Amino acid sequence: MLVNGVPYRTIWLADDRVTVEIIDQTKLPHEFKIEKLESVFAVANAIKNMLVRGAPLIGATAAYGMALGIKDDPSNDNLKKCYDLLLATRPTAVNLRWALDDLRTILTETPVGDRKNVAYKRATDICNEDIDICSNIGEHGSLLIKDIYDKNNNKTVNILTHCNAGWLATVDWGTALAPIYKAFDAGVDLHVWVDETRPRNQGASLTAWELGQHGVPHTIIVDNVGGHLMQHGHVDIVITGTDRTTYTGDVCNKIGTYLKALAAKANNVPFYVGLPSPTIDWTVEDGVKDIPIEERDQHEVATMRGKLANGQMVDVQITPDASFSKNFAFDVTPRHLITGLITERGISKANAQGLRALFPEYL
């Protein structure tokens, strides 16, 4: 997508075809900074500290992490070390495990001398596949938005989204935001309510920035406003992303998604999830019981990060010195609250039957 009119992906290979380059998302929206990743340790740090984030981008970055990690030592021993290091960075987004398993399988079947080239090629393929997947999610999802627009006699379609499931969370296009970009580009008059998404404010900082770069009308709201807007008829559809969706249709996504789904159900607002197939966990049946929920440092709750008038970025404390905080990063929305899952192969009901019909190879 465009940054000041120039097309970018979130991750790419530098001219030396070895170094990986990313957009440092901890600096947005105030600074657009490209960071070079030159080792598996730099990649692990970038994922853990959220220079890159969003389930599909975490997977793609980890794939390049494996390539960087084994390029000088492609032995089985080192392969395992890199796999373990990267897998431990973040626990919830299943794309991380999916990408690492994919690389491990391919590399184990490859002669040691060819592993470096194969790893780089597979990581690049994963990035290209992610773009295709997200673009297709955009096509399918945009029809939902277009349908609302047509039924409401071309009245502005109001869409609410949570966290950032845009192009910054993927390699390009995004999941929840891809339908919005495609509908907007096709001429649908739309407006996006952007949840700020405390504590890290991915909505206020990232979603608002990328929608703004594309010229999509949007308004940032604090996290508790969505229910009020739905009660008063100001939301036509909710679309979010997902970090892990069980094969039965439970969706684990950024903390607060569940509350939005409850409010949507109570107010008859359709609640959809942009779901790339690598985000489906075919091993988990009950999302509430069995998906590991990341708990991050309490510092993220106790502080807010922002820009001073002189442009300097600072963290300020907003809680009493003696108070403790808890920082759950994700929650699970049970399938009965979800209207549909927008996948690259079409829209499915949030249940095992629907997902298996679209992805029969996993039966």
Catalytic annotation, residues: 243
Beta bridge partners of 3: 6
Minimal distance, residue 58 CB to ligand MRU, in Å: 7
Q: Could you say whether residue 343 binds ligand MRU (CB under 6 A)?
A: no
Cβ proximity to ligand MRU, 188 vs 342, nearer residue: 342
The one among 9, 37, 40, 56 contacting ligand MRU by CB under 6 A: 56
Q: Detail the DSSP E strand segments found in 215-274.
A: 218-221, 237-240, 244-246, 251-254, 271-274
Contact stretch for ligand MRU (CB under 6 A) within 47-55, 185-193, 223-231, 301-309? 47-55
Minimal distance, residue 179 CB to ligand MRU, in Å: 12
Q: Could you say whether residue 163 binds ligand MRU (CB under 6 A)?
A: yes
Minimal distance, residue 212 CB to ligand MRU, in Å: 18
Structure tokens belonging to residue 11: 């991750």
Cβ partners under 8 Å of residue 114, min gap 6: none
Beta bridge partners of 161: 194
The one among 239, 329, 337, 355 contacting ligand MRU by CB under 6 A: 329
Q: How far apart are the first and last CA of the chain?
A: 35
Q: Could you say whether residue 165 binds ligand MRU (CB under 6 A)?
A: yes
Minimal distance, residue 103 CB to ligand MRU, in Å: 20
Query: Quick one: which of 344, 343, 346, 299 has its CA closest to 323?
Result: 299
Give CA–CA dist 157/43, Å, rounded: 39
Give CA–CA dist 290/283, Å, rounded: 10
Minimal distance, residue 275 CB to ligand MRU, in Å: 9
Query: Quick one: which of 265, 192, 271, 260 has its CA closest to 227?
Result: 260
The one among 22, 28, 55, 211 contacting ligand MRU by CB under 6 A: 55
Cβ proximity to ligand MRU, 25 vs 116, nearer residue: 25
Q: Which residue is nearest to ligand MRU (CB)?
A: 241
Q: Could you say whether residue 160 binds ligand MRU (CB under 6 A)?
A: no
Structure tokens belonging to residue 143: 């029809």
Minimal distance, residue 297 CB to ligand MRU, in Å: 13
Give CA–CA dist 64/71, Å, rounded: 10
Query: Quick one: which of 355, 163, 349 has its CA closest to 241?
Result: 163
Contact stretch for ligand MRU (CB under 6 A) within 4-12, 54-62, 113-121, 337-345? 54-62
Q: Could you say whether residue 202 binds ligand MRU (CB under 6 A)?
A: yes
Task: Pick out residues in 252-311 that bind ligand MRU (CB under 6 A).
Answer: 253-254
Q: Could you say whether residue 241 binds ligand MRU (CB under 6 A)?
A: yes
Q: Could you say whether residue 46 binds ligand MRU (CB under 6 A)?
A: no
Question: Which residues in 312-341 are b (16+ Cβ under 10 Å) and which e?
Answer: eeeeeeeeeeeeeeebebbbbbbbebbbbb
The one among 23, 54, 98, 138 contacting ligand MRU by CB under 6 A: 54
Q: Could you say whether residue 332 binds ligand MRU (CB under 6 A)?
A: no
Cβ proximity to ligand MRU, 27 vs 81, nearer residue: 27
Question: Which residues in 197-210 are b (16+ Cβ under 10 Å) and which e?
Answer: bbbbbbbbbbbbbb
Cβ partners under 8 Å of residue 236, min gap 6: 148, 152, 157, 158, 159, 269, 270
Give CA–CA dist 142/349, Å, rounded: 17
The one among 11, 23, 100, 169 contacting ligand MRU by CB under 6 A: 169
Contact stretch for ligand MRU (CB under 6 A) within 52-60, 225-233, 313-321, 345-353? 52-60
Minimal distance, residue 35 CB to ligand MRU, in Å: 17
Q: Which residues of the chain form contacts with ligand MRU (CB under 6 A)?
A: 53-56, 93, 163, 165, 169-170, 174-175, 202, 241-243, 253-254, 329
